[in-house]
Amino acid sequence: MTTPEIVDEIVERSEAILNDEPAPQRSRTFVSYAVTNFRGGIGKSTLSFNLAYEVARSHRTLLLDTCSQRNFSQNLLGDDILTVEKTIYDVLVREIAGAGTVDPDELLVSVKASCAAFKGGKPVNLVPGSTELYLFPSLLYSTLAQYQQIQQQDLREETSRRVINAVKTVVNLVSDRAKPEKVLIDTSPFFGGATHLAWAAADALIIPVRVDQHSIEALRQTLNMLSNKKQDFHRFNTQAGIAHQPVVHAVVMTHCGWNRQRANTPDSSTRYFVEKAVEIAQEFKIHFSDQNVGNCFYLLDDFHSSGRISGKQRIPLSELQSGKKYVVEGQRLEVNPSVDRYKKEVQNLAADL
C-alpha cells in the first residue's frame, strides 16, 4: 500500500469518528503505555492528562510521572502536589543504590481526592514526579558505566538489570494496592534517564507528533532509538541481559488543522505532515503493533484556547463545554467549538488502548 493510500485510510477513519459513524477498533491492546517523543511543546502532557481521564472511565488505572517538569503531576494534583512527600525519584534512587524501597502507601496518591473531574470513574492512582529527576540521567549512566566494568557476566547483568528495571519495579511495588488494569507513564522530551526506564517498563509507546517539521524529525529520532542497536536503549539493555522492547501502538498527530470547505477533512498542511510521518513509520514498521502502520495513526484537533483552559483549570477536554468562558492568568478565554471534535478523537484513541 502506498503512502497516499495509507493517509487516505487514516483520513477516512478520522472522518467516520467525527461523523459518529462506526470505526474499526484495534484487535490488539496492552496493559502499560509510555507517552513519549523527543521534543517538547507538542501537547504530550495535555494528551497524557486527557488519556488518563478517558482510560479511567472504564479501567482501574495507575499513572506514573517520569518527567522532571512534572506537568502531569501538577495537572492531576493541583496544589496538593505541595504535600507530596515521596515521589518516583525516591524509589529510583534507592533501586540504583540497592538500598531497599519505599512503602507503597507513602508513594501512591489518589487522583480522585485531588482532581474532582476524575471522581466518576474507576479508581486511579498516581506515582508523582519530581523536579529532582533533572539530576537523574548522570546518576543512571554513571552507575551503568560502573557496572559495565564488572568482569563476571552474571553479576554484571544482575546489577544492571536492577537499575534498568527500576520503573518496572515501581509498577510492581504499588500494583498490589492499586490493582491497575491499565498503566500510563508520562515521560520527558529527552531519552536519557527516567524515559529509558519507562520504555523498559512499558508494553507499548504512544508517540504524539505535532504537525510541524521539528516534530517529524523528533519522530524519526524516537523510532531510531527504538530500532538502532548502537543507541543507548539497546546498548545498556544488552548489558543488563534485557531483550524486551515496547512496540509503537499509536502515533498521535496533534494540533491538526481542518479544511474550511469540507467538514472534518484535514487541511493540506496537516495532510502533508501526516504523509511525512507515515513515510517514517513505514521505514520502522517492524516496531509497530499493527502490520498496517496506518491503523496506528490518530488525528487530534488543534484545540487552541481549550488546551490552556484544560491545563490551568485541571479540567479534561471532554468535560469542557463549547462557548463557556474561563479566566486564565488574567485573560478571559472561551472554549472553542473544536473541543467537540477533540472529545470524539481522544475517546476513540482511549478505546483502542
Distance CA(194)–CA(198), nearest Å, equals 6
Q: Are 193 and 182 in contact (CB under 8 A)?
A: no
> What percent of the chain stands above pLDDT 70?
100
> What percent of the chain stands above pLDDT 90?
79
39 Cβ neighbours under 8 A, 6+ residues apart:
189, 210, 214, 215, 218
Strand, helix or coil for residue 168: helix
Name the grid cell of 99.
538500598
Q: What's the pTM?
A: 0.96
pLDDT higher than 90, residue 23: no
pLDDT band at 259 (very low <50, low <70, confident <90, very high): confident
Q: Are 166 and 35 in contact (CB under 8 A)?
A: no
pLDDT higher than 80, residue 101: no
Task: Give the model confidence (pLDDT) of 132-167 as tens digits.
Answer: 999 899 999 999 999 999 999 999 999 999 999 999
pLDDT band at 230 (very low <50, low <70, confident <90, very high): very high
Distance CA(206)–CA(222), nearest Å, equals 11
Mean confidence (pLDDT) of the chain: 93
pLDDT higher than 80, residue 291: yes
Please provide the CATH number assigned to the domain covering 3-302+338-351: 3.40.50.300
Domains of the chain, by residue range, sit at 3-302+338-351
pLDDT higher than 90, residue 194: yes
Exposed/middle/buried for residue 47 (C-beta within 10 Å: 0-12, 13-18, 19+): buried
230 Cβ neighbours under 8 A, 6+ residues apart:
none
